[in-house]
Amino acid sequence: MIFALAEEATPGTVAGFATEYMWAVPLLPFLAAVIIGFFGRKMGGKEHYVGIFAVGAGLVMSLIAFAQLAGGNAAVEASYTWFRLDDSLELEFGMNYDFLTGVMFVVVTTISLLVHIYSTGYMHGDKRYTWFYAALSLFTGSMLFLVIANNLMQMFVGWELVGVCSYFLIGHYWEESPNSSAAIKAFITTRIGDVGFLFGIFVLFVATGTFDIIEINHLAEEGELGGSIATIGALLLFCGAVGKSAQVPLHVWLPDAMAGPTPVSALIHAATMVVAGVYLVARMFILFEHAGAALNVVAIVASITMLIAAALALVQDDIKRVLAYSTVSQLAYMMAALGVGAYTAGVFHLFTHAFFKALLFLGAGSLIHAVHSNNMSDMGGLRKYMPHTFKTFIIGSLALAGIFPLAGFFSKDEIVGEAFRAASEETQITAIIVFASAIITAFLTALYMTRACIKTFFGEYRGHGTPHESPPSMVVPLWILAGASLSVGLLGLPVVGPFADWINVPGETRHGFDTLYNIVLPLASVGIAVAAIWLGWVLFYKERRQVDILSTRFAWVYRLLENKYYLDDIYMGGIVRPVQYPLAAFAYWTNQHILDGIVNGTAHATVGAGQGVYGVIDQQVVDAGVNGAAGLTGFSGGLLRYIQTGNVQRYAAFLFIAIAAFVALFGLT
Amino acid sequence: MPVSYFLVLSALLFSVGVYGVLARQNAVLVLLSVELMLNATNINLVAFSAFFQEAGVAGQVFALFVIAVAAAEVGIGLAIVILIFRNRQSVDVDEMSLMKW
């Protein structure tokens, strides 16, 4: 493959030696997927080494290239013409390696490598082990292909590839019909958004005549692409982001996607694929900025999403569903940050969230591996049995809740601070909404994570058998991610952290130290989180002991509480429930009945239309054509066979007649 | 003597051969008729060779080749006829319609 280096490199800087070869990084996992797919069965359970090697090499390259970028080397844009219809339409495969790509590469390869390693323990003995690793590698390659794309068409190709890998992996245990239904649901729901994405690409192509991302952004900045067509284009692109990043109203697929194996949930449905939507908005951010009300729409949708999802996370019993709704809500956080123009903060939250959410999911996987159930009602008291999982899960939960000095604190505070800045200094209505939603969501986040931790690690064990700690292949990735969750936040330290130097929009000025933004707001937000944790502790744990004492005296209360599923919520929720539970239940009901109904209705309509097409077009038109052609051939053949008498003399007679005819025709004229 | 005499003789001989191939029922006579047709072409070749001297003796040499090939052909043909006779006690070509549908 020949890549022509772009001439746009800033004068005085040169591209680093590794950055020029970053196109090879997506190829490695693709290659690994092909090797595992074709030869994996002969490797006798060693196929994961292929994937681990490919992704590991990708991680090393990503780190070197990122170090070169940070060290002052130029970003690289290069492309290879795939085909050209005429001068007006040219499709390219290209690479665009800058800081945003670099950050995504580090995140994707790191999480993917850890998940590859973790899965050797988690998926051990699975009957589709080979297939699992092939799909995992294929996913990693597709995601990197999407991220490195320099044009929207290539990005769309990668976008669909990650979608189909997600489908494969959600349906990994397809023997049980809910799992395959979940896979189909995820695929169809995201496809609805993808239609918008594709039309957005068309609109932008018609308006600008190019698929090139940098060029479209540049034209938007220059004002040559603007007005309603830019708004329409940006909103259509956002449709794709809504589907992929599970924003309202297309968020319904993500909780169901938890049917897949837990490492897959960690890699695809928490840390990487679902942030593709956020990445798309970030990548096209300059277009969104110059596209009228597009960013406001992003902010409002994200605000609604984060509240609805965080409320839902409070009432789930399945630990993976708690985390899934949490993911939806945190993705909305990133979107909201972009919506109020806080580009750096949004991308930074994407970066930190990937680590601690992957940690939480892998921790949940470790729990599920031990107790063989997804339900928190089958867990409890596990801190005694699984000390490593317990410690790392608590670190992840604190990071998610935004407690100082963990990763979530810095990124979440930056978003809250930026929303507050936009609300107070520019008095944008949307910024005020985002700020309010972000504060409430921060409270709810700390509350539901407290509930999840208490229900899994504290109290008495409620499941069957004796749980045991997971093997080292699973615990080591947990500790690595815990270390990352503890430390990566420091990259985004206000004022001095390097992250804002790497990721910024042109013309964005870096804020200096400010008591309000750097002391008061963080203190307030940590205070809110701590209050939520305290409240959760009281509601879900401390009062529970009171319940046990009271239950002996008031047997009828005890019997009432024995009604399993809402044990905690019915009694302790005496205060919380009137406010929170109906709201959450209503949201859940809407979610399950109305939104799912629409999706299911669409599916039924599609099936009906498919059957109609089969009955009429396929059976009556296409088949009639095929059968007719065959019948005609048979009939004419039947006529011709009458001259095949087997009589040699008659054949010879035909021969002579024919020759005589030809002579008469050509010879005598 | 003009060349047309030889060509007419050749054409008549060839027509007799064609008639024999198409009309006779005895396979041996069909083979003989093929020989007649081959000899008709030989007459043509020799006649043209004699009348157009500048072409050398190529026509006559070609006639010798035809005679040799005809000998081989009739050898194989008679062998087939004998085998058919052994199998079916008949050399009637109307009965040899094994390739019929």
pLDDT in tens, A15-35: 777 788 888 899 999 999 999
Contact status, residue A319 vs residue A452, Cβ threshold 8 Å: yes
Picking from A639, A647, A663 by the largest number of B CB atoms within 10 A of its own CB, the best residue to mutate is: A647
Distance from CA of A624 to the nearest CA of B (A): 29
Distance from CA of B27 to the nearest CA of A (A): 10
B29 touching A, CB under 8 A? no
Q: How many CA atoms lie within 13 A of A528 on its CB side?
A: 20
Any idea which of A266-280, A324-338, A608-622, B18-32 has the lowest mean pLDDT?
Answer: A608-622
From A645, A646, A653, residue closest to B22, measured CB to CB: A653
- DSSP H helical ranges for A340-471: 343-371, 387-401, 407-425, 429-457
Per-residue pLDDT at A557 = 40
**Residue A361 identity (one-letter amino acid):** F
What are the tokens at A46?
């060693």
Q: What is the DSSP letter of A615?
A: I
Per-residue pLDDT at A43 = 82
Using CB atoms within 10 Å of the CB of residue A562, give its burial: 0 to 12 exposed, 13 to 18 middle, 19+ buried. exposed
B16 touching A, CB under 8 A? no
From B22, B94, B100, residue closest to A652, measured CB to CB: B22
Inter-chain touch B98–A646, beta carbons under 8 Å: yes
Q: Which residues pair with A5 in a beta bridge?
A: A78
Inter-chain touch A652–B100, beta carbons under 8 Å: no
Of residues A523 and A556, more confidence is placed in A523
> What percentage of chain A carries pLDDT values higher than 90?
37
Per-residue pLDDT at A580 = 53
Which residues of B are less than 8 Å from A652 in CB distance? Answer: 21-22
Distance CA(A537)–CA(A531), nearest Å, equals: 10
By a Cβ cutoff of 8 Å, what residues of chain A touch chain B? 641-642, 644-649, 652-653, 656
Inter-chain touch A648–B23, beta carbons under 8 Å: no
Per-residue pLDDT at A553 = 58
Distance CA(A514)–CA(A503), nearest Å, equals: 21
Using CB atoms within 10 Å of the CB of residue A535, give its burial: 0 to 12 exposed, 13 to 18 middle, 19+ buried. middle
Distance from CA of B24 to the nearest CA of A (A): 9
pLDDT in tens, A525-567: 899 999 988 888 887 777 666 545 544 555 554 444 333 333 3
B30 touching A, CB under 8 A? yes
Closest A-chain CA to B99: A646
Q: What is the DSSP string of B37-99?
A: HHHHHHHHHHHHHHH-GGGTTHHHHHHHHHHHHHHHHHHHHHHHHHHHHHHHS--BGGG--TT
Q: Which residues pair with A77 in a beta bridge?
A: A96
Which residues of B are less than 8 Å from A638 in CB distance? Answer: none
Is the pLDDT reported for residue A2 higher than 50?
no
Inter-chain touch A649–B18, beta carbons under 8 Å: no
**Residue B90 identity (one-letter amino acid):** S
pLDDT in tens, A578-605: 545 566 677 777 777 788 888 888 888 8
Distance from CA of B21 to the nearest CA of A (A): 7
- Averaged pLDDT, A506-527: 78
Distance from CA of A614 to the nearest CA of B (A): 40
Question: What number of other Cβ atoms are within 10 A of residue A116's Cβ?
Answer: 27
B50 touching A, CB under 8 A? no
Inter-chain touch B96–A648, beta carbons under 8 Å: yes
Distance CA(A136)–CA(A119), nearest Å, equals: 10
Q: How many CA atoms lie within 13 A of A283 on its CB side?
A: 29
- Averaged pLDDT, A211-218: 91
pLDDT in tens, A99-138: 999 999 999 999 999 999 999 989 888 888 999 999 999 9
Is the pLDDT reported for residue A286 higher than 60?
yes
Global pTM? 0.70
Per-residue pLDDT at A196 = 92
Distance from CA of A185 to the nearest CA of B (A): 59
Picking from A640, A641, A648, A651 by the largest number of B CB atoms within 10 A of its own CB, the best residue to mutate is: A648
Closest A-chain CA to B100: A646
Distance from CA of A666 to the nearest CA of B (A): 19
Distance CA(A245)–CA(B39), nearest Å, equals: 91
- The three-class DSSP label of residue B26 is strand
Per-residue pLDDT at A573 = 45
Inter-chain touch B97–A649, beta carbons under 8 Å: no
Of residues A493 and A340, more confidence is placed in A340
Distance CA(A452)–CA(A532), nearest Å, equals: 13
Picking from A644, A649, A656 by the largest number of B CB atoms within 10 A of its own CB, the best residue to mutate is: A649
pLDDT in tens, A470-496: 888 899 999 999 999 999 988 888 777
Is the pLDDT reported for residue A636 higher than 60?
yes
Of residues A458 and A146, more confidence is placed in A146
Inter-chain touch B99–A652, beta carbons under 8 Å: no
Contact status, residue A396 vs residue A362, Cβ threshold 8 Å: no
Inter-chain touch B22–A648, beta carbons under 8 Å: no
- The three-class DSSP label of residue A338 is helix
B99 touching A, CB under 8 A? yes
Is the pLDDT reported for residue A8 higher than 60?
no
Is the pLDDT reported for residue A393 higher than 90?
yes
Per-residue pLDDT at A282 = 93
- Averaged pLDDT, A388-408: 91
Inter-chain touch A647–B98, beta carbons under 8 Å: no
Any idea which of A157-166, A247-256, A470-479, A511-520 has the lowest mean pLDDT?
Answer: A511-520
- Averaged pLDDT, A602-623: 84
- Averaged pLDDT, A506-525: 77
Element (H, E) at A137: helix A129-148
**Residue A71: partners with Cβ closer than 8 Å, 6 or more residues away:** A16
Is the pLDDT reported for residue B96 higher than 70?
yes
Domains and CATH numbers, chain B: 3-95 (1.10.287.3510)
Contact status, residue A438 vs residue A423, Cβ threshold 8 Å: no
ipTM: 0.73
Which residues of B are less than 8 Å from A644 in CB distance? Answer: 99-101
Map tokens 């990124």 to a residue. Answer: A411
